[in-house]
């Protein structure tokens, strides 16, 4: 599986997964979406419901063969203020989710399989995707390079949940981190995730 990264200033990363079955992880920018061969894609996997990761789907006509996937806990936030669209001066995006994901689910791309890891904290339905063969982790806004973590002060955010979620990620063997924002990194990724856990613990809100 080859992964191509697309990003624009102030927008989230979009990842094109060039597997036997082509897939997209997050699609916040309509400009980026129009650059992609959407007629080849089997699915769009959303790491969470925030506007900057989903907005393109509001105005995008996907081929009928492409399905949109999201964790069931975030699907209820579609079209609501929980999308955080107001931070971008926009209305909440409206779109249909074809498949609701749960923790432990597998997404089969033919020559690659993505495992869904439910990582609440940034949002109730945030997920990460792990590909065991390449030891790749698509982390959404749960963790970022150099010990960064997702914010928890938006609707549905929870700092204690985020700490528990990152603790789960430290148990994975990760060679490449594909974050929701920032650069892709392959430099001592497990140590970077441990730094994220330390930071998350230090930033937990009082009970």
**pLDDT tens for each residue of 55-101:** 999 999 999 989 999 999 999 989 999 999 998 999 999 999 999 99
Q: What is the DSSP letter of 114?
A: E
Residue 203 has pLDDT above 90, yes or no: no
Fold type of domain 2-202: Metallo-beta-lactamase; Chain A (3.60.15)
State how far the Cα of 170 lies from the Cα of 196, in Å rounded to an integer: 9
pTM of the model: 0.96
Domain ranges of the chain: 2-202
Q: Which residues pair with 99 in a beta bridge?
A: 69
State how far the Cα of 100 lies from the Cα of 85, in Å rounded to an integer: 22
CB 156 within 8 A of CB 75: no
Tell me the two tokens of residue 46: 């959303």
Query: How does the average pLDDT of the chain come out, rounded?
Result: 95
**pLDDT tens for each residue of 126-141:** 999 999 999 999 999 9
State how far the Cα of 132 lies from the Cα of 113, in Å rounded to an integer: 8
């Amino acid at each position: 599986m080859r992964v191509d990264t697309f990003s624009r200033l102030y927008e989230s990363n979009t990842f094109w997964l060039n597997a036997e079955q082509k897939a997209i992880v997050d699609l916040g920018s309509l400009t980026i979406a129009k650059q992609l061969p959407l007629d080849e894609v089997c699915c769009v996997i959303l790491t969470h419901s925030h506007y900057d990761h989903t907005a393109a789907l509001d105005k995008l006509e996907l081929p009928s063969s492409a399905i949109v996937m999201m964790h069931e806990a975030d699907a209820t936030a579609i079209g609501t203020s929980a999308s955080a669209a107001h931070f971008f001066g926009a209305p909440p995006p409206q779109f249909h989710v074809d498949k609701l994901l749960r923790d432990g689910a597998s997404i089969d791309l033919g020559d690659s399989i993505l495992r869904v890891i439910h990582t609440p904290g940034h949002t109730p339905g945030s997920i990460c995707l792990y590909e065991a063969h390449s030891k790749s982790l698509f982390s959404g806004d749960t963790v970022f390079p150099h010990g960064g973590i997702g914010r928890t002060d938006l609707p549905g955010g929870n700092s204690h949940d985020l700490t528990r979620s990152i603790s789960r990620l430290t148990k994975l063997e990760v060679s490449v981190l594909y974050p929701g924002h920032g650069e892709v990194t392959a430099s001592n990724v497990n140590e970077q995730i441990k730094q994220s856990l330390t930071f998350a613990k230090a930033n937990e809100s009082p009970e």
